[in-house]
């Protein structure tokens, strides 16, 4: 049975990686958030978070967004998903 | 499966470090020859070899074994991420225990400095996949932030473990990091942040090196070194992830912390021992907060009491259950393939009573634990007889 997962969940835990690596390339940012998000459908998903180290609190609502990582040789966008605090930085209560 | 009638007869290692001018072959040869010399045997006496590494070309292990001689012995490659060295040891112990051979060698080697300065690939996934964008420090930092939320743990707790292991490394000639002063909690906290709340000094270094352990039937061990206590592997568990609610499928390179509890229960049961029998524990402290979790998961205190065990100094040298007496991954280093065999090296010296200034008085039972990406966990129990 297929279960379609919605774009929202709650933050189970998080961290903020301070080294400027993003996979195999140097990121143009000072660091990035990483978290685990509990989806209401059941799974816990680990993903990159957008926002700064002061933006995350365990239990806060998160929503999914897509980020373009690069273009492949055919000119197609390679995207990954990441989560951000729902309602923008600081999050919705 | 319980191990029967096996003893560690020889150990050897290089000091771990950043060896940009030394080849894998040189490092592996140094460790292997030391172990053969410690055992008092030559390659002709070795019935099988298990070689462990994470990042090298496919034939590296077979080629490197030719450095010791061409005796036709079976050589098998072992790769289980960070747990590789202990799994090579496990295979060697089982080869002897099962009667396949009388003497078996486990050899691990690695140059992590070449990986670290390279493309950043090699974690088993292609570039830009969802697994490759998150580095290991973050995975373990996720445990740390959650524990701080649930238990009120402070960064000072993690720093205290890191300082303990740095200071242990300074007493170990094989350790990569050997501080020239007593490392303090404040110093660990003040080092650069790697991933909240972990700092650089709470994290293992990028190391190169090699380590080797040789196991044999007990009767051979007694004949070779009649005056030496036997160092007997009793059990070696190896587990992959077991599903529970809240399991994270996408993303992690390390499984849930409960893997350590399950692997430990299996190892204790097979050995007929419990945590109260263990005198020394070497664990996967790639990041300091891991060690705190393992105090509980390996059964040395109740869930929620790890901070108290630490604060009471029970896991320091001279405490009830000293952890990572050789400096652990944080100080001794973590080159991947040889890491677990460095743990066996330390346990063999400790159980023989040959660990010098690091000696745990009256050590009879030792535990070696590693987790590895993918993910796997192994717990090994060895006893002095």
What is chain B's pLDDT, residue by residue, as a tens digit (385 residues)?
A: 789 999 999 999 999 999 989 999 999 999 999 999 999 999 999 999 999 999 877 889 999 999 999 999 999 999 999 999 999 999 999 999 999 999 999 999 999 888 754 444 434 334 444 545 567 888 899 999 999 999 999 999 999 999 999 999 999 999 999 999 999 999 999 999 999 999 999 999 989 999 999 999 999 999 999 999 999 999 999 999 998 877 887 666 778 888 999 999 999 999 999 999 999 999 999 999 999 999 999 999 999 999 999 999 999 999 999 999 999 999 999 999 999 999 999 999 999 999 999 999 999 999 999 999 889 999 999 999 9
In a domain, B129, yes or no: no
Do B38 and B10 belong to one domain?
yes
Question: Which phi-psi region, left, alpha or beta, contains residue B174 (left: φ > 0; alpha: ψ -120 to 50)?
Answer: alpha
In Å, what is the CA distance from B273 to each residue of B234, B268, B278, B291?
9, 5, 8, 21
Contacts A23 to B, Cβ<8 Å:
120, 127-128, 132-133
Residue B12 sits in the same domain as residue B74: yes
Which pLDDT belongs to residue B249?
74
Which CATH number belongs to the domain containing residue B277 in this structure?
Answer: 3.40.47.10
Say if residue B274 is in the same domain as residue B194. yes
Domain that holds residue B60: 6-117+206-229
The verdict on B78 and B212 lying in the same domain is yes
Task: Indicate the DSSP class of residue B68.
Answer: G
DSSP state of B35: H
| Chain B residues in contact with A64 (beta carbon < 8 A) | none
Candidate from A14, A19, A36 with C-beta closest to B194 = A19
Task: Based on the fold, state whether residues B363 and B349 are members of the same structural domain.
Answer: yes
Q: Alpha-carbon distance B356 to B373, whole Å? A: 34
- The whole-angstrom distance between B132's CA and the closest CA on chain A is 5
Is there a domain that residue B125 lies in? Answer: no
pLDDT value at residue B52: 96
Residues B96 and B102 sit within 8 Å (Cβ to Cβ): yes
Q: Is residue B20 part of a domain?
A: yes
* pLDDT for res B128: 45
Return phi, psi of residue B33, to 5°: -65, -35
ipTM (interface predicted TM): 0.87
Q: Residue B131 falls within a domain, yes or no?
A: no
One domain, residues B267 and B372: yes
Residues of chain B with C-beta less than 8 angstroms from the C-beta of A36: 142, 248, 251
Q: Is B168 in the same domain as B301?
A: yes
Indicate whether B214 and B257 sit together in one domain: no
- Count how many residues are written for chain B: 385
Residues B111 and B249 in one domain: no
- B237: phi > 0 → left, psi -120 to 50 → alpha, else beta; which? beta
Q: With an 8 Å Cβ cutoff, is B194 touching chain A?
A: yes
As for how many domains chain B has, the answer is 2
Nearest chain A alpha carbon to B119: A24
Is B295 within the bounds of a domain? Answer: yes
B25-30 contacts: CB < 8 A, separation 24 or more?
B25/B63, B25/B64, B25/B67, B27/B109, B27/B111, B27/B208, B27/B209, B27/B210, B28/B64, B28/B67, B28/B107, B28/B109, B28/B210, B29/B64, B29/B67, B29/B68, B30/B210
Cα B292 to Cα B307: distance, rounded to the nearest angstrom: 7
Residue with tokens 């050590």: B363
pLDDT attached to residue A23? 47
Do B223 and B256 lie in a common domain? no
What per-residue confidence (pLDDT) applies to B8?
A: 98
Any domain includes B211: yes
Structural domain contains residue B126: no
Q: H/E element holding B306?
A: helix B306-311
Q: Hunting for tokens 């740095």 — which residue is that?
A: B166
Q: Is residue B246 part of a domain?
A: yes
Residue that finishes a domain, picked among B194, B229, B264: B229
Residues B93 and B168 placed together within one structural domain of the fold:
no
Helix (H, G, I), strand (E, B) or coil at A49: strand
Q: What is the pTM of this model?
A: 0.94
Asked whether residue B154 falls in the same domain as residue B244, the answer is yes
């Amino acid at each position: 049975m297929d279960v379609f997962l919605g774009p929202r969940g709650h933050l189970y835990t998080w961290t903020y990686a301070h080294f400027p690596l993003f996979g195999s390339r140097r990121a143009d940012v000072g660091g990035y958030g990483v978290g685990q998000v509990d989806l209401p459908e059941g799974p816990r998903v680990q993903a990159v978070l957008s926002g700064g180290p002061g933006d995350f609190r365990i239990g806060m609502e998160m929503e999914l967004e897509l980020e373009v990582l690069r273009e492949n040789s055919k000119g197609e966008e390679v995207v990954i998903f990441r989560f951000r605090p729902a309602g923008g930085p600081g999050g919705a209560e | 499966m319980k191990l029967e009638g096996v003893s560690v007869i020889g150990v050897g290692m290089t000091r771990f470090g950043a060896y940009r001018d030394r080849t894998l072959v040189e490092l592996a040869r140094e460790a292997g020859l030391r172990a053969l010399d410690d055992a008092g045997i030559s390659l002709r006496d070795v019935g099988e070899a298990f070689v462990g590494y994470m990042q090298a070309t496919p034939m590296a292990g077979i080629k490197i074994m030719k450095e010791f001689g061409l005796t036709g012995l079976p050589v098998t490659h072992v790769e289980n991420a960070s747990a590789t060295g202990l799994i090579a040891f496990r295979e060697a112990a089982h080869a002897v225990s099962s009667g396949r051979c009388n003497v078996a060698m486990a050899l691990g080697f690695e140059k992590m400095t070449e990986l670290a300065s390279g493309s950043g690939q090699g974690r088993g996934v292609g570039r830009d996949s969802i697994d490759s964008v998150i580095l290991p420090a973050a995975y373990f930092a996720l445990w740390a932030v959650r524990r701080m939320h649930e238990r009120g743990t402070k960064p000072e707790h993690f720093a205290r473990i890191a300082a303990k292991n740095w200071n242990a490394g300074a007493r170990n000639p094989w350790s990569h990091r050997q501080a020239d002063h007593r490392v303090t909690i404040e110093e660990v906290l003040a080092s650069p942040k790697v991933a909240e709340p972990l700092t650089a000094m709470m994290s293992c270094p990028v190391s190169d090196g090699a380590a080797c352990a040789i196991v044999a039937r007990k009767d051979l061990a007694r004949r070779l070194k009649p005056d030496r206590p036997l160092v007997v592997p009793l059990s070696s568990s190896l587990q992959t992830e077991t599903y529970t609610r809240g399991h994270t499928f996408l993303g992690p390179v390390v499984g849930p912390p409960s893997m350590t509890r399950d692997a430990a229960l299996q190892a204790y049961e097979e050995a007929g021992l419990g945590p109260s029998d263990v005198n020394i524990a070497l664990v996967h402290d790639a990041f300091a907060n891991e060690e705190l979790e393992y105090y509980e998961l390996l059964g040395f205190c109740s869930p929620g009491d790890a901070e108290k065990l630490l604060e009471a100094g029970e896991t320091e040298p001279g405490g009830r259950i000293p952890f990572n007496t050789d400096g652990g991954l944080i100080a001794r280093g973590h080159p991947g393939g040889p890491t677990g065999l460095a743990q066996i090296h330390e346990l063999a010296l400790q159980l023989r009573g040959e660990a010098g200034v690091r000696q745990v008085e009256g050590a009879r039972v030792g535990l070696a634990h590693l987790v590895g990406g993918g993910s796997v966990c192994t717990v090994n129990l060895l006893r002095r007889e």
